[in-house]
Structure 1
Amino acid sequence: MATRFVQINMKAHDEVALGGFWAKVLGWEMSSEGPGVTNLEPEGLTYPDPSTLYVDLVVSAEPKTAKNRVHVDLATTSAAHHAELVARLTALGATPADVGQGDVPWTVLADPEGNEFCVREPNPLYADTGLIGAVVVDCADPRAMADFWGRATDWTVHEVTDQQAVLRSAKGVGPYLRFVRTPDAKTGWNRVHLDVRPYPSDDLDAEAARLRTLGATDADLGGADTPWRVLVDPEGNEFCVLTPA
C-alpha cells in the first residue's frame, strides 16, 4: 500500500473570494464541488496528477490567530520575474508580511485573508516545478518528519539535515515539500494543510490503519463523521486521507 500528496487545503472565511485571488495568481480554473468548497485546478490535467498539488478552499468561521505553519513558496526565474510577480500579486490584493524573516532575498506576502506565502528568489531547485515551487511546513524535527512522511507516502526524500528535509513526488515532477526547523510551537488547527490520497486499488481504512502504525493519530473532530479520515502526523499537523482514486 502507498499514498501520495494530492492537494493543499485552505480554510477561508470567504472561500469564493479567496479562491478567486489564488485562481488569478496561479492562472487556474475555479469550480465548486459543493456548498462552502471552492476547487482550483490547472487547465488540461486530470485529477489527481503528480505534476501539481491542487488547491481546495473550505469555508470556516474560525479566526486566524497566528502565523500559518504551512505555506507555499512561489518560484521565480530571474530578478526581473521576481519583481514583476510581486507587483502583480500586490495589484491582486496581496500585502507585505513580517514573520520575523529579517533581511532575506525573498519576499514574504500575505493573501487577502492573511495567509503568508513567499515569492522566492531564483533557485535551481525550483527550475521545473511550475509557479508553486514548494509547500513549506514548520516543524521541530525535520529528520523525524522525513522519516514519517518518507514511509507514509511514496514521495522521494531528497535531502535531510537538522535544519530541513525535502521530499518530492516519486515521479520527479511538481512542487517540493520542505520541512523547515522552527522554534515556534503549534497552536490550534492548521488553517492550511495537505491532503493525501491512496491509489485506486487500496482501501481507505487499511491505509489509515497503516499510517497509524507509522506514528499518525486520529484528529479530534468533535464527533463529526466524514467519508475521509482526518489524522495528525507525529508533530500534530492535521492531514486528510481521502478516498482512493
Structure 2
Amino acid sequence: MRPFLLLAARDHDEVADDEYRAFCAYSGLAPEELHRVRAEAGPLPDIRLEDYSGVILGGSPFTASDPPQEKGPVQRRVEAEIVELLDRIADADFPFLGACYGVGMLGTRMGAVVDRHFGEPVGPVKVRLSAVGLHDPLCAGLDPAFHAFVGHKEAVRTLPPGAALLAGSDTCPVQMFRFRRNLYATQFHPELDVPGLERRIDAYRHSGYFPPETADEVKERARTVRVSEPQKILANFVARYAG
C-alpha cells in the first residue's frame, strides 16, 4: 500500500505530535503508513501525488479568511504552497480530506464563500448528515446525527459550485462537503478526542477562540458528551483509497 500524507501547519510541538497520533490511531494507519510534513517548519518538499494513496490536511491556528495584511510571512508561504498542491489535487481529483483549516483552504480554492459568519466556539456540536451524506462512502456507518468537536473562527457560508453538502449543524450549515468525487472537507475535527481537545485548549487559550479565564469551563463542557462517530470518517477514507 502506498502511504498517506498528512500536511500539518501547527508550530506547537505537543499539539502537532498529538494530532499526528490521533490521525494514526483513528485511521488505523501505522506511522510508516502516514507520512507527516509540517508545512510551517519550512518549504514543502517535492510532493509527488503518485507516491501516495491520499492527502490529509489537518487543522491550524492559521485562518484562510484572514485579511492579507494580517497574515505573517510564514502563513503566506504555507498557504501559497498548499494552494499549489491543491491545484494539482483538484486537477487530478486526487483523494483529499481537509479538516477545519482544510475546509477553509479547499473551499476558498474551489470558489466557496469562506468568512467569519458561522464561527463556532470550542466544544461539541450536534452534526446531522444530509440526504446525500447518508449515502456517501466516507459517512458509512455513522449515525445520522452525532456529536463532533469544533472550534473555528471561519466557515464556509456558500458552497463551491457543484459541491455536495454532506453534513451541517444548527450553528454552522456546512460541516462537511464533497467536491467532485474524491475531494472532502470537514469543519469539525474527525481526529479529536477529549484528551486531544484539552491539549489544544491549553495551547491556544490566548489565541482568541475563547476568553482565557474560561479554559476549565470549556474543558468541562467537552467532557459532557461522547464523541466517537467522526473518527469513522478517517477509517472510511483509508479503507476507500488505500491502494
TM-score in terms of structure 2 length: 0.35
* More helix as a share of residues: 2
* Greater C-alpha radius of gyration: 1
Higher share in strand: 1
